[in-house]
């Protein structure tokens, strides 16, 4: 009969529990669920923390296996290509924890999904807007009041895998000095400006590593829609002003090319509707007789309807 010293039974039990914990708990840690990368580029580290060596990065939309529970805010992941490392939990969207733990090696990774949206983005855009203000050109006899530059910003808030909410603010502006072609020849300083404020939706059409194509539609109001004609050969006050607020809307396509982790180049083409009802001047200045017929102002419409195209940069947050 083997004699066991007093107290060793308890010690043996504790050691056995610890040994089993070492064997069993890693199996639970290896239990995995399917996840997808949300950010443009998720950094992969050798261990659960940024103090470990960075070994690679995974692009947005990549599907992978991730541990059920994070360690110090990081999930252990494995990609279809066999890359194993640790990624911060905020960079991933994970499926539900399986009721029966599944070993990571038993999961068969699916093909990477194409998800161009995953973080809030702000686009800064410069556009060139093609239109012909026919009513104004016919009335003034200039024929040169066409096209305008646009400067704006657009917020893109993801609502679902392929659908985002859009908020857009712009300034459209055209300024020139023109001489009318109807005698007597007069010189005018012309200014045409509008501030469209719109909201809408954007749908992702195509997405791959580093490139995204989407279609959007927006509606809103153009506040501060104003046309000013200053008769330079007349004494002040020499400005005649038409002003209104108007409904506006646009449909557009956006192409985005990833430049860095957070910076994207954006190209845009679209069609804008922006047109007021018939107006007469709210302010009448010297030289306004040029715009009258039979001593009366004729109602005209202010229009910036037409195609637009442009480009800019987008920042992800």
Is 200:270 a contact under the CB 8 Å cutoff? Answer: no
Q: Please, where are the H alpha helices in 2-83?
A: 8-30
Cα–Cα distance between 4 and 37 in angstroms, integer?
56
Cα–Cα distance between 175 and 120 in angstroms, integer?
35
What are the C-alpha distances in Å from 41 to residues 24, 62, 195, 309?
33, 10, 35, 29
Is 260:60 a contact under the CB 8 Å cutoff? Answer: no
| Percent of the chain residues past pLDDT 70, beyond the cut | 79
CA 265 to chain CA centroid, Å, is: 11
**pLDDT for the residue numbered 183:** 55
Q: Which CATH architecture has domain 121-316?
A: Beta Barrel (2.40)
For the stretch 135-193, pLDDT in tens is 777 777 666 778 899 999 999 999 887 899 999 999 999 998 877 666 556 788 889 99
The three-class DSSP label of residue 288 is helix
- pLDDT score of 239 more than 60: yes
**pLDDT for the residue numbered 3:** 46
For the chain, how far is it from start to end, CA to CA, in angstroms?
A: 71
For the stretch 84-128, pLDDT in tens is 999 999 999 887 655 544 444 444 444 443 444 457 899 999 999
Q: Which CATH architecture has domain 8-106?
A: Roll (2.30)
What are the C-alpha distances in Å from 172 to residues 92, 194, 304?
40, 5, 9
DSSP state of 238: -
Cα–Cα distance between 303 and 140 in angstroms, integer?
15
For the stretch 26-39, pLDDT in tens is 444 445 788 899 99
E runs forming strands in 209-305: 211-231, 239-258, 263-279, 292-293, 296-297, 300-303
Cα–Cα distance between 211 and 203 in angstroms, integer?
14
**ω before 308 within 30° of 0 (cis)?**
no
What band does 7 get if pLDDT is binned at 50, 70 and 90?
Answer: low
The three-class DSSP label of residue 70 is coil
- pLDDT score of 44 more than 50: yes
What band does 289 get if pLDDT is binned at 50, 70 and 90?
Answer: confident
Cα–Cα distance between 210 and 306 in angstroms, integer?
31
**pLDDT for the residue numbered 24:** 37
Domain ranges of the chain: 8-106, 121-316
Cα–Cα distance between 271 and 172 in angstroms, integer?
14
- The first and second tokens of residue 240, run together, are 């005649």
Q: Please, where are the H alpha helices in the chain?
A: 8-30, 134-140
Is 239:283 a contact under the CB 8 Å cutoff? Answer: yes
Least confident of 6-10, 67-71, 106-110: 106-110
- The first and second tokens of residue 116, run together, are 């161009």
What band does 76 get if pLDDT is binned at 50, 70 and 90?
Answer: very high
């Amino acid at each position: 009969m083997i004699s066991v010293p007093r107290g060793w039974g308890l010690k043996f039990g504790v050691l056995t529990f610890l040994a089993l914990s070492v064997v069993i708990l890693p199996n639970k840690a290896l239990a995995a669920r399917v996840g997808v990368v949300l950010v443009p580029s998720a950094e992969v580290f050798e261990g659960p923390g940024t103090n470990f060596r960075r070994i690679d990065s995974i692009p947005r939309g990549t599907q992978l296996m991730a541990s059920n529970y994070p360690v110090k805010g990081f999930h252990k992941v494995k990609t279809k290509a066999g890359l194993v490392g640790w990624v911060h939990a905020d960079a991933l969207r994970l499926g539900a924890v399986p009721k029966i733990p599944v070993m990571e090696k038993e999961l068969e990774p699916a093909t990477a999904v194409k998800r161009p949206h995953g973080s809030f983005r702000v686009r800064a855009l410069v556009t060139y807007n093609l239109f012909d203000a026919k009513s104004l050109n016919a009335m003034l006899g200039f024929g040169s009041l066409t096209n305008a530059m646009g400067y704006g910003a657009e917020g893109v808030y993801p609502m679902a895998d392929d659908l985002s909410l859009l908020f857009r603010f712009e300034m459209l502006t055209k300024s020139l000095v023109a001489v009318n072609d109807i005698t007597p020849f007069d010189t005018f300083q012309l200014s045409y400006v509008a501030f469209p404020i719109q909201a809408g939706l954007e749908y992702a059409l195509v997405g791959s590593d580093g490139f995204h194509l989407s279609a959007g539609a927006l509606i809103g109001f153009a506040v501060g829609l104003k046309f000013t004609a200053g008769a330079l050969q007349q004494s002040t006050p020499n400005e005649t002003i038409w002003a209104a607020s108007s409904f506006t809307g646009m449909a557009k396509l956006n192409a985005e090319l990833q430049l860095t982790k957070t910076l994207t180049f954006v190209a845009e083409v679209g069609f804008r509707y922006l047109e007021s009802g018939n107006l007469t001047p709210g302010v009448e200045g010297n030289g306004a007789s040029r715009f009258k017929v039979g001593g009366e102002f004729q109602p005209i419409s202010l229009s910036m309807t037409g195609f637009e195209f442009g480009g800019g940069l987008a920042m992800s947050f």
